[in-house]
Amino acid sequence: MAGSALHTLLAAAALAALGGCDRLAPGTGLPAFAGFESRCESLPAARFDVVTAPVEAKEDYSLAYVEIARLAEPSSAQHRTVGLTHAKFGYRSTLDLEGLEDPRRGRVCARARVRVEVTTAPMTVYVAREYRGDPCREPLIVEHERRHVEVFETYAAESATRLARELDERIGGAVRYASTMAEAQQAIRAELAAHLEAFMAEARADLALRHAAIDTPEEYEKLARECGPTR
């Protein structure tokens, strides 16, 4: 394509923690005199829910191609940047603990409930204003950029399924024991943050490869080949 459709991937990550505990185990079906460990093992199962936030790509024709070029990553000087898909791929997560406290012995137990929302918002498709209304160039630019939008959407859906499985495997559903609920929460939060950071690093590399597979030399030449030299 005569214009490079490069992409800026920004990692946005917010980690929030909400703690909670009970001194007894309501709803476990165990008598109040049951052992602490028995009541802990009867806590509700750990949960790891990963969802994909719905995203609507906004089209923007307000920028000239020279302005779009400033938003894009460096490209060959031989190519004019006539289109760009800009998205922020990241996540929002919450951590909640369901736990019990044994104040006499200074110990607690808990299981985690984790929710992660994978998001690609905001997403904007830029088309150079010089080509708005161009019967040949505008449709080609938009079609090319929509393929990049699909890369983000497809990857988000794929990664949500994989991430839920990995969190379940690596953080696990075992009961956590600690001296305080804050200590238990901090330990699980650190594990969650480490895994999500690794997930984002992998996402950057994977998305770069998928977008590069679309931005081929043939695509750079497509506008000129089908519509003649760009103005």
Q: What is the pLDDT of residue 33?
A: 46
Q: Does residue 7 fall inside a structural domain?
A: no
Q: Does residue 204 fall inside a structural domain?
A: yes
124/189 Cα distance (integer angstroms): 32
| Cβ(127)–Cβ(71) below 8 Å | no
Q: What is the pLDDT of residue 230?
A: 67
Q: Which long-range contacts (CB under 8 A, 24 or more apart) does 66-73 make?
A: 68/126, 68/128, 71/8, 71/126, 72/4, 72/6, 72/7, 72/8, 73/6, 73/7, 73/8
Q: 231 or 171: which carries more pLDDT confidence?
A: 171
Q: What is the pLDDT of residue 56?
A: 85
Q: What is the pLDDT of residue 81?
A: 83
DSSP-derived secondary structure letter, 104:
T
Residue 143 has phi, psi (to 5 degrees) of -60, -40
Q: Does residue 6 fall inside a structural domain?
A: no
Q: What is the pLDDT of residue 223?
A: 86
The pTM (predicted TM-score) of the whole model is 0.78
**Alpha-carbon torsion angle 65, 220, 229, 139, nearest 10:** -70
Question: pLDDT grade, residue 20 (50/70/90)?
Answer: very low
Q: Does residue 150 fall inside a structural domain?
A: yes
Quote the number of domains for the chain: 1
| Cβ(122)–Cβ(56) below 8 Å | no
Please tell me the least confidently modeled range out of 8-22, 63-77, 134-148, 209-223: 8-22
Residues 6+ positions from 144 with CB-CB distance below 8 Å: 1, 5, 83, 214, 219, 222
Q: Does residue 1 fall inside a structural domain?
A: no
DSSP-derived secondary structure letter, 46:
P
pLDDT digits (tens, 9 = 90+) for 40-94: 999 999 999 999 998 889 999 999 989 998 888 655 444 568 999 999 999 999 9
Residue 142, domain extent? 12-227
Mean of all residue pLDDT scores within the chain: 83
Q: Does residue 3 fall inside a structural domain?
A: no
Q: At what angle do helices 137-170 and 181-214 cross, to 10 degrees?
A: 150
pLDDT digits (tens, 9 = 90+) for 129-157: 999 999 999 999 999 999 999 999 999 99
Q: Is 151 strand, coil or helix?
A: helix
Give yes or no for residue 219 having a pLDDT over 90: no
Q: What is the pLDDT of residue 10?
A: 33
Side chain identity at residue 49, one-letter code: D
Mean pLDDT of 176-186: 95
Mean pLDDT of 205-210: 95
Residues 6+ positions from 84 with CB-CB distance below 8 Å: 5, 6, 7, 68, 71, 72, 125, 126, 145
Q: Does residue 109 fall inside a structural domain?
A: yes
Give yes or no for residue 5 having a pLDDT over 80: no
107/204 Cα distance (integer angstroms): 41
